[in-house]
């Protein structure tokens, strides 16, 4: 991973880290995808582009601006950010169509596998002076039929109170606000953390220039990221949002779903908030038969 500890929180630095992270998990290469699929998908993408050029009478100045921007987005390492913000939500929508259990949503560019293993009753790794409202996030993992899934895994990652992710912004401990929690014998977990802040996608790089040029905003609502899994069950990658939070209704990444909005109340111990959210995992049986 790029040594960003000494660098600024720039688009180029988080872009480089996100690109590096993607390369380590990459699922497929263009040469692994069926020739007819590549032909169909790329041909239709090009035809759609040609139609836009004709319909809007795109000029050479606009064509050159696009070309310059595409060159820059590669140089900035911002392809993971661009794709995860503006394209991934539809790929996830299609992938999630066959799911009966908990809703998923986009993974985004900032997952890092191998977070510290934590017990069912856990506090996420954080700085001694970690800013933010304490949050007790608890719940249960079951199958679609309601059977608890003992030993289910809740892999959680989130931004801090300034909207920064460890390993992708400078100056944060490596696993800050990241953990892999194993549920107890009844599928229950109780995770102490802090509420994340809304997150602004880096504004100083190519994605930022596009947002400024189009007159959009750069915000994602505050969110917890999760990957929940159990043996014999389909892993769900999801995010949870906070009712009434800014940009829940106009997430730049279009990743909010009504089922994913938490409404935390005051914590029983008087420290911050608490909320319960149960996960329902689809069995892999249906996939095996498909
Ligand atoms: C991006 C960041 C996120 O935290 C996220 O969940 C999705 C996308 C991004 O910067 O592209
Ligand atoms: Fe995120």
How many degrees, rounded to 5, is the angle at CA 90 between CA 53 and CA 202?
80
pLDDT given at position 180: 98
For 87, phi and psi rounded to 5 degrees?
A: -125, -40
Could you tell me whether strands 188-194 and 121-123 are parallel, antiparallel, or unpaired per DSSP bridges? parallel
Pair 281, 234: CB distance under 8 Å = yes
Tell me how far the alpha carbon of residue 175 lies from the centroid of ligand 1, in angstroms.
18
Which protein residue has the closest C-alpha to ligand 1 atom 8?
108
Residue range(s) defining the domain that contains residue 273: 1-290
- Measured between alpha carbons, how far is 3 from 16 in angstroms, rounded to an integer? 10
Number of the ligand closest to the Cα of 252? 1
Tell me how far the alpha carbon of residue 224 lies from the centroid of ligand 2, in angstroms.
7
* Total domains present in the chain: 1
Residue 175: pLDDT band with limits 50, 70, 90: very high
For 275, phi and psi rounded to 5 degrees?
A: -155, 145
Number of the ligand closest to the Cα of 78? 1
68: left (phi > 0), else alpha (psi -120 to 50), else beta? alpha
User: Could you tell me the CATH number of the domain that includes residue 23?
Assistant: 2.60.130.10
Q: Which of 10, 73, 81 to mutate to test the pocket of ligand 1 (most atoms within 8 A of CB)?
A: 81
Residue 288: pLDDT band with limits 50, 70, 90: low
Average pLDDT for 255-283? 97
60-75 vs 206-214: helix crossing angle, rounded to 10: 150
Whether 240 has a pLDDT exceeding 90, the answer reads yes
CB distance 247 to ligand 1 below 6 Å: no
Q: DSSP secondary structure string, 92-151?
A: HHHHGGG--SS------S---S-PPEE-SEEE----TT--S-EEEEEEEEEETTS-B-TT
């Amino acid at each position: 991973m790029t040594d960003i500890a000494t660098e600024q929180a720039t688009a180029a630095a988080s872009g480089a880290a996100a690109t590096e992270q993607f390369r380590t998990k990459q699922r497929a290469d263009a040469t692994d995808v069926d020739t007819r699929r590549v032909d169909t998908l790329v041909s239709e993408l090009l035809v759609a582009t040609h139609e836009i050029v004709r319909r809007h009478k795109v000029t050479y100045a606009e064509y050159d601006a696009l070309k310059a921007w595409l060159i820059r987005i590669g140089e900035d390492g911002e392809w993971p950010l661009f794709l995860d913000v503006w394209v991934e939500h539809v790929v996830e929508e299609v992938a999630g169509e066959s799911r009966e259990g908990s809703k998923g949503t986009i993974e985004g560019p900032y997952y890092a596998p191998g977070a510290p293993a934590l017990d069912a009753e856990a506090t996420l790794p954080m700085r001694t002076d970690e800013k933010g409202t304490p949050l007790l996030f608890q719940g249960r993992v079951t199958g679609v039929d309601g059977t608890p899934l003992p030993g289910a895994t809740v892999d959680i990652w989130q931004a801090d109170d300034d909207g920064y992710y460890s390993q992708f912004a400078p100056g944060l401990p490596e696993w800050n606000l990241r953990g892999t929690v194993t549920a107890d014998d009844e599928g229950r977990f109780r995770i102490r953390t802090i509420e994340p802040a809304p997150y602004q996608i880096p504004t100083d790089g190519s994605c930022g220039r596009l947002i400024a040029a189009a007159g959009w905003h750069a915000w994602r609502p505050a969110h917890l990221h999760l990957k929940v899994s159990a043996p014999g069950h389909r892993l769900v990658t999801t995010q949870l949002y906070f009712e009434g939070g800014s940009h829940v209704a106009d997430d730049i990444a279009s990743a909010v779903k009504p089922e994913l909005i938490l409404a935390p109340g005051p914590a029983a111990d008087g420290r911050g908030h608490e909320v319960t959210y149960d996960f329902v995992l689809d069995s892999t049986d249906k996939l095996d038969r498909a």
